[in-house]
């Protein structure tokens, strides 16, 4: 099987639930506080590993208790952490406020800003043409650019999740094969709010200008859509009771990469990823809410039976 190299963030999530968001200057009582290992990069790596893909995490944690806990969590979930480094810094932190199953997140990058190019080079020196390289934007953009440039030189398939979204230069975008983004990220990057087939075509026209071959837009409860040259393919979402959406998007992307690494096509990968994402939102937390491959397959089988 192909290998997946995730170059990205590793955070400790500090989560609290509220019935409503506080107003400016207001103090509210919350409930259900918990700490969870997370971070977009780490969540995506765990999702790919739980879906039975050989997955390597390239990132940085701090020399603190959170750093110890984060590395242990990645190891426990089957992610190879030989390229995870330590920095003389606090680990990355995400403060997450959950309101009625939806979330708002505040980040302190911490050690995520300390990823070094040499570690990226060391990791990708072990990669081959059939492998995959995934990046997000919770790490410095020059690291993303360097990683994708190296990955394309070696013939890897590159997957970008442009979150948190910022305008990106062509040095990054021209080295992307597949981009997976939500509606808000579409608006920020491509200046299009995707609500119709014409909008999807406009989004693809923007990204194909940088030679990106496949665009996947996640649409929340409406599912997701794949746009390629002369092809628009919808994948519906599965109906579940959402409890916590914290790592739903990361699960989706990790599952996509895992299925592609197994030789599946994008359409089939999107269906499996939608199932994995649906299961994720039915549980609280980040990494621990991500389902294993067997759980996803059983869920899909139940959907066939009930359908």
Question: Looking at the annotation, which residues are catalytic?
Answer: 250
Strand partners, 135: 7, 160
């Amino acid at each position: 099987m192909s290998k997946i190299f995730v170059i990205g963030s590793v955070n400790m999530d500090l989560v609290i639930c509220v019935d409503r968001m506080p107003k400016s200057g207001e103090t509210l009582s919350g409930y259900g506080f918990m700490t969870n290992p997370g971070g977009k990069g780490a969540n995506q790596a765990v999702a790919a590993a739980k879906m039975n893909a050989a997955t390597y995490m390239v990132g940085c944690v701090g020399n603190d208790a959170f750093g110890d806990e984060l590395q242990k969590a990645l190891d426990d979930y089957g992610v190879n952490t030989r390229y995870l480094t330590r920095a003389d810094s606090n680990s990355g932190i995400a403060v997450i406020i959950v309101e009625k199953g939806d979330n708002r997140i505040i980040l302190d990058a911490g050690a995520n800003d300390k990823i070094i190019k040499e570690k990226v080079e060391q990791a990708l020196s072990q990669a081959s043409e059939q492998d995959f390289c995934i990046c997000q934007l919770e790490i410095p953009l020059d690291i993303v650019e360097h990683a994708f440039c190296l990955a394309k030189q070696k013939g890897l398939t590159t997957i970008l999740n442009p979150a948190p979204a910022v305008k990106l230069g062509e040095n990054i975008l021209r080295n992307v094969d597949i981009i997976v983004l939500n509606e808000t990220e579409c608006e920020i990057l491509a200046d299009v709010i995707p609500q119709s087939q014409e909008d999807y075509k406009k989004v693809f026209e923007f990204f194909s200008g940088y030679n990106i071959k496949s665009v996947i837009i996640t649409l929340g409860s409406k599912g997701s859509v794949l746009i390629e040259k002369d092809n628009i393919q919808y994948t519906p979402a599965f109906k579940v009771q959402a409890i916590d959406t914290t790592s739903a998007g990361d699960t989706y992307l990790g599952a996509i990469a895992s299925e592609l690494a197994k030789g599946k096509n994008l359409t089939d990968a999107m269906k499996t990823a939608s199932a994995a994402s649906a299961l994720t939102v039915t549980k609280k937390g980040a990494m621990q809410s991500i389902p294993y491959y067997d759980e996803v397959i059983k869920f899909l089988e139940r959907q066939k039976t009930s359908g």
